Amino acid sequence: EAAAASVFNSNLPMLASAVRGFGAEPIEATSSDDVDELRRTLMSMRTEADLVVTTGGISAGAFEVVRQTLEPDHSTFRRLDMRPGSPQGCGRFGSLPLIHLPGTPQGAFVAFHLFVGSVLTGKSLRQRWRKGILAGPGLRPHANAVTVRPGSFTESGEIRAAERARLPNFAAADVIIRIPRRTDSPHSPEELSAGTVIDYLEC
């Protein structure tokens, strides 16, 4: 049983497993919120790794160690219009490529499969989206962001969306469903209903 002050590191085993799923070999490492420790960790990775993926420490808080260590000389950080997984970053530490994912488990899972997956497969995200038929339930677009929902294949090959978008739902999913942002256009649907053609990414 965890002590009251313990924090589970769910991102590291989750992403290590995802890396193996893409046929690569993970090198697991952790760092505290100390700038010098993170810099030493990155220095050691320059001779071991082909790509470093970090999670957390990139939002707008007062103690965002990844941003403090790498911005602006090494990495650039942005908030993307997507949910979950809005905070993102990328850069280089010397010749070592860096991709920075958000710290929330759902955001890290989604961002890994969208962006790191594209690097590991050598295909753009646009090339990787596939078309499928939504079996239900209906999905409501967000007014300010592209959203994603985990889903599973039905026996007939359609895609059923999970009721929730938490980490256990993503961990058990076959696919990530892309829900476009709602616009002011009269043709913009209020809901993606059963039978709608949707974009999905296998995970």
Same domain, 105 and 134: no
More confident residue, 188 or 29: 29
Same domain as 106, residue 28: yes
> Are 34 and 109 within one domain?
yes
Give φ, ψ of 82 to 5 degrees.
-145, 150
Domain that holds residue 141: 129-202
Same domain, 143 and 183: yes
Same domain, 91 and 182: no
Nearest-angstrom CA–CA distance, 19 and 183? 35
Instruction: Report pLDDT digits (tens) over 59-71.
Output: 877 789 999 999 9
pTM: 0.91
pLDDT at 183: 82
CATH number for position 186: 2.40.340.10
pLDDT digits (tens, 9 = 90+) for 79-137: 999 999 999 999 999 999 999 999 999 999 999 999 999 999 999 999 999 999 999 99
Tens digit of each residue's pLDDT (9 = 90 or more) over 29-52:
999 999 999 999 999 999 999 999
pLDDT score recorded for residue 2 = 47
74 and 165 both lie in a single domain: no
Total domains, the chain? 2
Measure Cα distances from 142 to 76, 83, 147 in Å: 26, 9, 7
When the pLDDT of each residue in the chain is averaged and rounded to a whole number, the result is: 93
Alpha carbon distance, N-terminus to C-terminus of the chain: 31
- Looking at the structure, tell me whether residues 28 and 94 fall in a common domain: yes
Nearest to 157 by CA among 125, 131, 186: 131
